[in-house]
Amino acid sequence: MCNGYNRTVYNHLNNIMDTFDSLRNSTYVMDHLACLFNDKVPSEYFNFKEELMQFLPKVYDMFQFLPKASQLLIEEKTSIRRDLEEDEIYNYLTNIISYVAGICMEISIIESFIILDKESIPDVFFEFKRKFVQFLSSTELFSLSYEHNASLMNKIVNTFYEDIEWQEEALEEDKQAIEHKKYCVAFFENFINFSSMMKCDTTLQSSTDLSPSKNA
């Protein structure tokens, strides 16, 4: 138990604090991109950042009992690359949306404990959830309509799909690498068995198979 709360709930609350910190760090990069390509950054981002900076102190006030809450008040800017390019604007914008989605996921996980043990959840969590929804609803970025913001929404969605495609390609490469490693292990084990057989039988059959056996 942590401060009287279930340790798992406590950890998920700290995850929310970490995600807010990552969210704020992404705004630092977006601000730098805005300096480089000001007319290319959607105005909805600036509205979101303004609302976020007003919301973070409220999050801290609600969760002061969490060690990681204090980082929300620290003005420590993340390291920013010098070679940022214009096409990274929407990559970082989707990062921001991903962090918000991550916070929503953590909220849902914590809510699942209500059925099991409602007392394990601090009362302030429910206040936070209500204010978090209000915060998102007050931002232009999370109040877009396809009728008026089709271009922006399509760019965001397409960026997500490009990332998904890249992840799938990387996963396929990982699968191939894993299969190769399995082949290497099987070959190694099979070759050791083959060497042992050689020591027992000096006559080597020309048809001996050095590839991994199916049973290796």
The first and second tokens of residue 99, run together, are: 């962090």
What percentage of the chain exceeds 90 in pLDDT?
49
What pLDDT score does 56 carry? 95
Tens of pLDDT, residues 119-169: 889 999 999 999 999 999 999 998 888 888 888 899 899 989 998 888 888
The Cα–Cα gap between 163 and 86 comes to 17
* 86 has pLDDT over 70: yes
CA dihedral 179, 181, 184, 188 (to 10 degrees): -130
Instruction: Decide if 59 contacts 69 (C-beta within 8 A).
Output: yes
What pLDDT score does 114 carry? 83
Residue at 169: amino acid letter: E
* 35 has pLDDT over 80: yes
* 27 has pLDDT over 60: yes
The Cα–Cα gap between 190 and 194 comes to 6
Tell me the Ramachandran region of residue 3: left when phi exceeds 0, alpha when psi lies from -120 to 50, beta otherwise: left
What pLDDT score does 216 carry? 45
The Cα–Cα gap between 171 and 165 comes to 10
Instruction: Name residue 2's beta-bridge partners.
Output: 5
The domains of the chain are located at: 7-143, 145-201+212-216
The Cα–Cα gap between 27 and 119 comes to 35
